[in-house]
Amino acid sequence: MSHDIWVWVAAFLTLSILSFLYKDNPFYKFAEYLLIGVALGYGIAVTWHSTIIPKIVIPLKEGHQYHLIIPMCIGLLFWARLFPKYAWLSRWPIAFQIGAGVGIGLPLILQADVFKQIQGTILTSAILNNPFNAFSAIVAFVGVVSTLIYFYFSLEHKGVVGGIAKIGIWYIMIAFGAIFGYTVMARMSLLIGRFQFLLHDWLGLMR
Amino acid sequence: MWEKLLNLDRRWIFLITAICVIIPFLFPIGFPTNVTPPTQQIYDKIDNTKPNGPAVIVTFESDASVLPELYPMATAIVKHCFIKNVRVILMSLGMQGVGIMQMVLEDVKKEFPDKKSGIDYVLMPYVPGSGIVIMRMGEDIHKIYNVDYYGVPMDSLLMMKEIRNFSQVSLVVALAGSGAWASWVVYANQRYGASVAAGVTAVAAPDAYPFLQTHQIIGLLSGLKGAAEYETLVEDNLNFKTKKVACIGMDTQSIIHIVMIIFIILGNIAYFVVRRQKKNVS
Amino acid sequence: MRKLVPLRICLVCGIVMLIQFFIPHNYSQTFFQYALDWLIVCGVFAVVIGLDSNFRLHLTRIIRRKKGWGYSLITMVAVLSVAFIGIKFGIGADSLFMKIYRNVEVPMDATMFSLLGFFMASASFRAFKAKNKEATVLLIIAVLMMLGRIPIGYFMWDKLPNLVEWIMMYPNMAAQRGILLGVGLGAAAMQLKILLGIERGWLGGAGD
């Protein structure tokens, strides 16, 4: 069993949250509200040390980067949201962030999520040379096309289109099955992690 | 009987689940772990990185909620880098991730007390901006991170003198519990050509395969199994004996998966039997 | 005026950034670097807004002695004390701040999500039924995945992990890619709509 008081604190809080499985109770509620508070407090301190000091105070005081005063003024307008009368001013920094973000991101998202993905689907002679690779590539090609057609609602799903869309459903079911299987895995892993802590770090029962 | 089973108080299911998780920990079986190609590819890339040359960036894009899956990945990768004398940049685009990287460092340093901040590794502070931060790193890391997590000026850190942008980074391993790793593909890989690999929770793994097929990510660690595979590679290939947290967890994972499958089968049998009984009655 | 100015700011910033992407000249690169710095500095101030709503909620509850105000008090005490400890005594490896983070926040956060494991088990028993052909395929694939990713699956049939990897890499990937292409095109269309001022949801409820 651990002799570290902090491990006992962690174990108590872990058990408080697990107690919710029996029913909602004050221990769980205490832990829930404490978590919100600690997370916010953590955020404030980290922002202070990691962001406000190095990104605002040091560049102005030591780096003499006075051009940063302009984005600071724009950023300060975010705080207008705290005063209902002037809240509309907070739209300016949001507009700056969204506009620039879209301008930067749009071509990159199109390249990464659309063009590259289409490129990866196209059947080339190099892929088709090997029978197994060719089979796999055709499976993927059919899957991409049929899934796209399944989600294309501007055409009625009848005849050939309906047939292809049906193939799409089977592909989607395979993908959902994979997601389901992997979700079970993920959730159980989280559980395993907490029991590992209780049995090893706290109780010292594991070798 | 089947109807009773179907209406079983869910707390009994909770209890059975808890027991099935606890027992393999108390009586470990020690199943061996087979390594899949997406894990091997990440391992090979780091293994072939020149010692004391280009850095590996390990970035944690989640909070503590997904720690059991991603933490063993982070520690195994950092250990691998330290064994091979590959420089590491630990960072996060999120506020919570920086604290987790600090924990990773603390834990790994217990086994590597000689590794020094600024020479072998650097822990970056939190800077808001996500994609913007990645792009600024692509231009000049020193401009976005003027100090490290401990407040030491970036220009005074020995290893960072040679590392200015992604040209001096051999691999970015983005660990995430959601699709946050994809920001590294969009901004670091697409714009600056950086090599990116993803380490994700199992629930996020199926989404990553389209990017794996196009080589936008060079490898993929999926969930606890991915972490266990990496731990196995580090121990077997580098002869480095360490506590394999994920591998220990895989014993339990094996048992609990079987239990889940039994639950699904039993639930289905009960459902169909009860349905047939109701049909016969009516 | 209150809506037009931000819409114009959004349009101009977006177009300027798009132009710099297609013109990789020195000037354009220098401008781009400045723009990134400005965006980051500007974003720092937004962090405060996130705190505002939380503070308001809990302080109102405490002041008005609403039901559960004691729990809100716990939250407020925790926020202020952790923030004070962090700012005053630092956030280094051996600091009290990191001890609190490691032993209070991390275990609670991780445990909160681990509850999902239990609910997943309950759902496996109660909810996942092979009611039709599609659902049956879904369940079979799910079971294959669960077996293929654990060592026992490997012992049952040593090719099972390879089969699972193949399913993930081809049929699953194909469906995921189909969805991704739809989402990617949708996101691009939405971004264009924002830039052109057709989509204005981001202006929020800060008055006309």
In A, which residues are within 8 Å of B222 by CB distance?
Answer: 182
What span, in angstroms and rounded, lies between the C-alpha atoms of C60 and C63?
A: 5
pLDDT at residue number A110: 93
In A, which residues are within 8 Å of B66 by CB distance?
Answer: 186, 190
Give domain status of residue C51, yes or no.
no
Containing structural domain, residue C23: 1-44
| B222, B250 Cβ separation under 8 angstroms | no
What span, in angstroms and rounded, lies between the C-alpha atoms of A66 and A70?
A: 8
pLDDT in tens, C22-63: 887 888 888 888 888 888 889 888 888 878 888 999 999 999
Give domain status of residue A196, yes or no.
yes
Asked whether the beta carbons of residue B209 and residue C180 sit closer than 8 angstroms, the reply is: no
What span, in angstroms and rounded, lies between the C-alpha atoms of A151 and C88?
A: 55
The nearest alpha carbon in chain C to A78 belongs to C46
| C115 plus C146 within the same structural domain | no
Residue A50: pLDDT band (50, 70, 90) is confident
SS3 category, B112: coil
Distance from the C63 Cα atom to the nearest Cα atom in chain A, whole angstroms:
17
Residue B34 DSSP symbol: P
What span, in angstroms and rounded, lies between the C-alpha atoms of C104 and C19?
A: 48
Give domain status of residue B249, yes or no.
no
Give the residue-averaged pLDDT of C83-107.
Answer: 94
Q: In total, how many domains does chain A have?
A: 1
The nearest alpha carbon in chain A to B260 belongs to A184
A80-109 residues touching C, CB cutoff 8 A: 81-82, 84, 87-88, 90-107, 109
The nearest alpha carbon in chain A to C140 belongs to A177
pLDDT at residue number A65: 87
pLDDT at residue number A206: 79
Q: Residue A156: is its pLDDT beyond 80?
A: yes
What span, in angstroms and rounded, lies between the C-alpha atoms of B51 and B58?
A: 16
Mean pLDDT in chain B?
Answer: 93
- Among residues A183, A113, A191, A175, the alpha carbon closest in space to that of A143 is found at A175
Asked whether the beta carbons of residue A190 and residue B68 sit closer than 8 angstroms, the reply is: yes
Distance from the C87 Cα atom to the nearest Cα atom in chain B, whole angstroms:
13
In C, which residues are within 8 Å of B202 by CB distance?
Answer: 149
Residue B50's CATH number: 3.40.50.1220
Query: How buried is A201 (Cβ within 10 angstroms: 0-12 exposed, 13-18 middle, 19+ buried)?
Result: middle
In B, which residues are within 8 Å of C38 by CB distance?
Answer: none
pLDDT in tens, B226-264: 999 999 999 999 988 888 889 999 999 999 999 999 999
Which stretch of B158-167, B240-249, C114-123 has the lowest confidence by average pLDDT?
B240-249
Give domain status of residue A128, yes or no.
yes
Q: In total, how many domains does chain B have?
A: 2
Give domain status of residue A165, yes or no.
yes
pLDDT in tens, A7-22: 999 999 999 999 999 9
pLDDT at residue number C206: 58
Asked whether the beta carbons of residue C78 and residue A102 sit closer than 8 angstroms, the reply is: no
pLDDT at residue number A207: 66
Residue A106 CA: distances (Å) to CA of A102, C19, C69, C190 = 5, 12, 46, 10
Nearest to A108 among B96, B146, B187 (CB): B187
Nearest to B22 among A53, A55, A195 (CB): A195
Distance from the A25 Cα atom to the nearest Cα atom in chain B, whole angstroms:
15
| B97 plus B193 within the same structural domain | yes
Containing structural domain, residue B15: 2-27+254-281
Give domain status of residue A62, yes or no.
no
pLDDT at residue number C26: 84
pLDDT at residue number A64: 85
What span, in angstroms and rounded, lies between the C-alpha atoms of B232 and B235?
A: 5
Asked whether the beta carbons of residue A180 and residue C128 sit closer than 8 angstroms, the reply is: yes
Q: Residue B130: is its pLDDT beyond 90?
A: no
Asked whether the beta carbons of residue C204 and residue A39 sit closer than 8 angstroms, the reply is: no
Containing structural domain, residue A204: 122-207
The nearest alpha carbon in chain C to A173 belongs to C138
pLDDT at residue number B98: 94
The nearest alpha carbon in chain B to A207 belongs to B26
What span, in angstroms and rounded, lies between the C-alpha atoms of A144 and B165?
A: 36
Q: Residue C205: is its pLDDT beyond 80?
A: no
Residue B2: pLDDT band (50, 70, 90) is confident
B/C interface, count of CB pairs below 8 Å: 154
Give the residue-averaged pLDDT of C137-162.
Answer: 93
Share of chain C above pLDDT 90, in %: 66
Mean pLDDT in chain C?
Answer: 91
pLDDT at residue number C207: 60
**Hey, what are A91's tokens?**
């739209």
Give the residue-averaged pLDDT of A82-97.
Answer: 92
Give domain status of residue C110, yes or no.
yes
pLDDT at residue number C28: 83
Q: In total, how many domains does chain C have?
A: 3
What span, in angstroms and rounded, lies between the C-alpha atoms of B231 and B242?
A: 9
CB atoms within 10 A of CB C72: 20
pLDDT in tens, A168-177: 999 999 999 9
Q: Which chains touch B (3+ CB pairs under 8 A)?
A: A, C
In B, which residues are within 8 Å of A182 by CB distance?
Answer: 202-203, 205-206, 222-223
Residue B111 DSSP symbol: T
Give domain status of residue C8, yes or no.
yes
Residue in C59, C122, C125, C170 to test binding to A, most A beta-carbons within 10 Å: C170
Give domain status of residue A141, yes or no.
yes
Asked whether the beta carbons of residue B37 and residue C124 sit closer than 8 angstroms, the reply is: no
Give domain status of residue C78, yes or no.
no
Nearest to A178 among B127, B206, B249 (CB): B206
pLDDT at residue number A149: 95
Asked whether the beta carbons of residue A184 and residue B257 sit closer than 8 angstroms, the reply is: yes
Distance from the A201 Cα atom to the nearest Cα atom in chain C, whole angstroms:
12
Residue in C8, C29, C33, C38 to test binding to A, most A beta-carbons within 10 Å: C38
pLDDT at residue number B8: 85
Nearest to B186 among A109, A189, A207 (CB): A109
In C, which residues are within 8 Å of B268 by CB distance?
Answer: 128-130, 139
**Hey, what are C205's tokens?**
């409820």
Asked whether the beta carbons of residue C149 and residue B206 sit closer than 8 angstroms, the reply is: no
Distance from the A50 Cα atom to the nearest Cα atom in chain B, whole angstroms:
5
Q: Residue B115: is its pLDDT beyond 90?
A: yes
Residue in B34, B124, B152 to test binding to C, most C beta-carbons within 10 Å: B34
Share of chain C above pLDDT 70, in %: 98
CB atoms within 10 A of CB C12: 16
What span, in angstroms and rounded, lies between the C-alpha atoms of B50 and B168?
A: 11
Beta-carbon contacts of residue A24 (< 8 Å; ≥ 6 apart): none
| B94 plus B168 within the same structural domain | yes
Give domain status of residue B271, yes or no.
yes
Asked whether the beta carbons of residue C47 and residue B128 sit closer than 8 angstroms, the reply is: yes
What span, in angstroms and rounded, lies between the C-alpha atoms of B44 and B237?
A: 11
Distance from the B55 Cα atom to the nearest Cα atom in chain A, whole angstroms:
22
Distance from the A97 Cα atom to the nearest Cα atom in chain B, whole angstroms:
10
| B154 plus B269 within the same structural domain | no
**Hey, what are C119's tokens?**
């609910």
In C, which residues are within 8 Å of B260 by CB distance?
Answer: 120-121, 124, 146
Task: Give B117's strand partners.
Answer: B121
In A, which residues are within 8 Å of B248 by CB distance?
Answer: 196, 206
Which stretch of A152-156, A189-193, B198-202 has the lowest confidence by average pLDDT?
A152-156
Q: Which chains touch C (3+ CB pairs under 8 A)?
A: A, B
Q: Residue C208: is its pLDDT beyond 70?
A: no
SS3 category, A1: coil
Asked whether the beta carbons of residue A54 and residue B225 sit closer than 8 angstroms, the reply is: no
Asked whether the beta carbons of residue B21 and residue A207 sit closer than 8 angstroms, the reply is: no
Is residue A43 less than 8 Å (CB to CB) from chain B?
yes
Asked whether the beta carbons of residue A101 and residue B131 sit closer than 8 angstroms, the reply is: yes
pTM for the complete prediction?
0.92
| B69 plus B109 within the same structural domain | yes
Residue C55 CA: distances (Å) to CA of A37, A39, A197, C195 = 10, 13, 33, 33
What span, in angstroms and rounded, lies between the C-alpha atoms of C206 and C200?
A: 12
Q: Which chains touch A (3+ CB pairs under 8 A)?
A: B, C
